Amino acid sequence: MIIAKYILKKILTSNFIILSSFISLFFIISLVDNLNLKTNFFYVILISLLDSLSLIIIVPEVIFLFCCLCFCVLLKFSNELLIIRHYLDKKIILFFFILFILFYFLANFSKSQIDESIDQTKYSLLSENLDNFVKNKVVVTESNNDKIIYELSDIDIKGKNIGSIKIHNFKNNYFKSTLSSDNIEYNESIITLYSPTLITSKNITKVHGKYSYNLKFLTRILYSNDEILYLNNYKYVNYSYNSIVKILNFTILLITLSMVFISKKILKNNLITFVYTLLCLILIIYNFMINFINVQFFGILFISLGIFINLTIFLYFYIDD
Amino acid sequence: MLPRYLIYNYIKNLTIFLFSFLITIWASQTIRLLEIGVSYNDLFEIVYLTVLLIPSYIINIFHLILIFSVFFLNYKFNNTNELFIISQYVKRKLISKNFLVINTIIFLILIINSEYISQHLYKDYKQKEVELRSEFKVQVQNSKREFKLDDHFVIFFDKFEDDIFFNPKAIIFSDDLLVESENAKITYNDNKINLEFYNGSRVSSSKKEKSITNFLKFNFFIENNSEEIVYPDKESFSVYELLKQDDKKLNVAGHSKIINYILILIVLINIHRVVNTVNLKNQTNFRNLKLLIFMLTFIIANSFLNKILTLYTINNLIYYCINIILLILLQLGIWKTYDYS
């Protein structure tokens, strides 16, 4: 129990050291970039802090690698790692790491939501300087065989105004109608179009009166940094084949990283630590690449090969200890 | 022999920390660019572009990297009791002398990097960026089933093969058009991108025109009018060039760079004090944390001064006076924190 507490304390310390050092570095970089913002200096500091957080969230696997390395080095200097490995089974140490892996996993999994909240907070702080906003957006919603494309132009968040809107309706992949208006009102989730023009494949009519459209997550859409948004992605987390593969790869990668830095081989000499760290970096870069490269042919083979390589490396480190 | 061992470890730690932080910064910048989907989304092109940016980050973060690496070195030496042994056999003056020599070399390398290498690479980066913007290099990702070219148009499609979009629904922003057709072929030559839609309809809903037209073939092209001019940033100039600029922001960046050099110099001068601190009564961590807070406070204060100098609230003389006072206070703080007596 004492050793368990000690290990947990050390993992926590290494996480704290690495996170605080990276936050301070990213903070300085962001501060230098944000000084040109036309806002109060206190807000500049807050925005830089938020920027540094969003930069960290982009690369949780790299941060985790340095946390593991820091944990290993902290315990290696005083030979504590050797003692711990003597008394505790690798699986138990790995279990402690799993708790932290869970934290990084959640950070990675909810990356876009965290990023979005950071953006919203940033923009609410920047209420005086809204030049950076995306002023034109395209929102796509799909249900069964219906597809609706909303074209929002000249969005003015400060004045709570949308310049014009065009709503294109498609059914079974064919054009059905377009509704356009320059006189719009909106609240949290409803857009009201006054005197819109309705264009169908047969005629064009000016409609007198108002049309109301229920567009959920409208505030999030307006504050988002993206120009093209898919509303279906907001409604539910899309557990597509690709995201399951990404989650699987990410989890295997983090477990492998933690296993590398508690292995007995790493205790032998510094050169092995150096080589293992380089290997881990290459493994992380490889994982970045398999997440971003979309192959046109042999896609399934490419993805399966990625998982297979990750699993092989994981098994190698597990068995070879 | 022992001072050399100390210097060797110092250099080793500094290199490891510098590269670790730079790799992380590079990775985050690359992924951010890839995630926002820049138009020239060629992976290796972006990797190469972001590598060109890395040297220009060093000047801004070098002081922190320096202190992080010596904190770590000090922790290591204290844990292995090496520091205790070294202090028994080597005089402090000799250690300081050795550190002075190596820190002078480090400072010179830093100046060469910030005044020559980083600018050279940054200029390359800007040039490459402009070139990429000006050439139409269209790459469509089938998995996204959407293709957007800057502010010109966006196409939603079912499949893309051999430069043909199947079931495309295109919004052409410049002409306020919606075009849907059975398929569309994209062709591009040096300065033009051409979209040919077959068997479809075109809906215009602009203020001037409201119409719907069916067509067998509809052609749309855009010419590349982007200017191939490189607009320099503060990273494109040396200190001397920055100070000569008429643009206030660039000018302030020059003054800020000078203060940054002085700050790095102060940290380098005091490095041996941090490394040499024997951890008595577990006080080192607290001392190191104090130094980190001092540094961060100075950096924030300096940024504030940069901001008000840009806004003409203070003049150059006041800027330098306040910064020098702050630097003196920082030096006094370091002396007090790492007091040998």
Report pLDDT digits (tens) over B263-315: 999 999 988 888 777 766 667 778 888 888 999 999 999 999 998 898 888 88
CB B168 within 8 A of CB B197: yes
Neighbours of B44 (CB within 10 A): 8
CB A315 within 8 A of CB A292: no
Angle at A160 between CA B38 and CA A204, to 5 degrees: 80
Q: Are residues B130 and B151 in the same domain?
A: no
Q: Are residues B37 and B130 in the same domain?
A: yes
Q: Is the dihedral of CA B224, B226, B229, B232 positive or negative?
A: negative
In tens digits, what is the pLDDT along chain A, a chain of 321 residues?
A: 778 888 888 889 899 989 999 999 889 988 888 888 878 888 889 989 998 998 888 888 889 999 998 888 888 877 888 888 888 888 888 888 888 899 888 888 888 778 878 877 877 777 655 555 667 788 888 877 788 888 888 887 767 778 888 888 888 878 888 888 888 888 777 888 888 888 887 888 888 888 787 777 677 777 776 777 777 655 544 455 567 777 888 888 899 988 888 888 887 777 888 888 888 888 888 888 777 666 556 667 777 788 888 888 888 888 877
Q: Are residues B82 and B18 in the same domain?
A: yes
Distance CA B227, CA B172 (A): 22
Q: Are residues B108 and B239 in the same domain?
A: yes
Q: Are residues B25 and B79 in the same domain?
A: yes
Among B104-108, B244-248, B332-336, whose mean pLDDT is lowest? B244-248
Residues in A 187-206 with any Cβ partner in B closer than 8 A: 197, 199-201, 204
Residue B141 lies in a domain: no
Q: Are residues B23 and B117 in the same domain?
A: yes
Q: Are residues B276 and B187 in the same domain?
A: no
Name every chain B residue with its beta carbon within 8 A of the beta carbon of A26. Answer: 25, 28
Q: Are residues B10 and B83 in the same domain?
A: yes
- CB contact set of B89 (below 8 Å; sequence gap of 6+): B2
Q: Are residues B129 and B158 in the same domain?
A: no
Nearest to B82 by CA among B278, B271, B235: B278
Domain finish residue from B162, B196, B223: B223
Q: What residues make up the domain containing B209?
A: 146-223
Whole-number Cα distances in Å, B311 to A35, A83, A132, A248, A266 = 11, 59, 21, 51, 54
Q: Are residues B102 and B207 in the same domain?
A: no
Domain finish residue from B196, B223, B250: B223
First-residue to last-residue Cα distance in chain B = 26
Q: Are residues B284 and B206 in the same domain?
A: no
Give the CA radius of gyration of chain A.
26
Q: Are residues B102 and B177 in the same domain?
A: no
Residue B328 lies in a domain: yes
Structural domains in chain B (count): 2
For residue B23, give how far its alpha carbon lies from the nearest alpha carbon of chain A (Å): 9
The domain segmentation of chain A, as residue ranges, is 2-109+239-319, 137-235
Q: What is the mean pLDDT of residues B73-85?
A: 81
Among B39-53, B96-110, B246-260, whose mean pLDDT is lowest? B39-53
Distance CA A48, CA A37 (A): 11
Distance CA B187, CA B192 (A): 8
Whether the full predicted model's pTM is greater than 0.95, yes or no, is no
**Chain center to CA of B55:** 8
- The verdict on B158 touching A (C-beta cutoff 8 Å) is yes
Give A132-167 as a 3 state SS string.
CCCCCEEEEEEECCEEEEEEEEEEECCCCEEEEEEE
Amino acid symbol at A59: V
Paired strand residues for A214: A190
Which of A147, A199, A284 lies at the smallest CB-CB distance from B210? A199
Give A179-227 as a 3 state SS string.
EEECCEEECCCEEEEECCEEEECCCEEECCCEEEEECCCHHHHHHCCCC
For residue A293, give how far its alpha carbon lies from the nearest alpha carbon of chain B (Å): 8
Angle at A244 between CA A243 and CA A248, to 5 degrees: 115
Which residue's entry shows tokens 């702080």?
A125
Residue B140 lies in a domain: no
Domain finish residue from B223, B242, B276: B223
Distance CA A290, CA B202 (A): 39
Distance CA B100, CA B95 (A): 9
Residue B296 lies in a domain: yes
Q: What is the DSSP annotation of B77-133?
A: HHHTTHHHHHHHHS-HHHHHHHHHHHHHHHHHHHHHIIIIIHHHHHHHHHHHHHHHH
How are beta strands A197-200 and A204-206 bridged, if at all?
A: antiparallel
Name every chain A residue with its beta carbon within 8 A of the beta carbon of B150. Answer: none
For residue B76, give how far its alpha carbon lies from the nearest alpha carbon of chain A (Å): 6
- The verdict on B25 touching A (C-beta cutoff 8 Å) is yes
Residue B139 lies in a domain: no
Amino acid symbol at B308: I
Residue B94: pLDDT over 80: yes
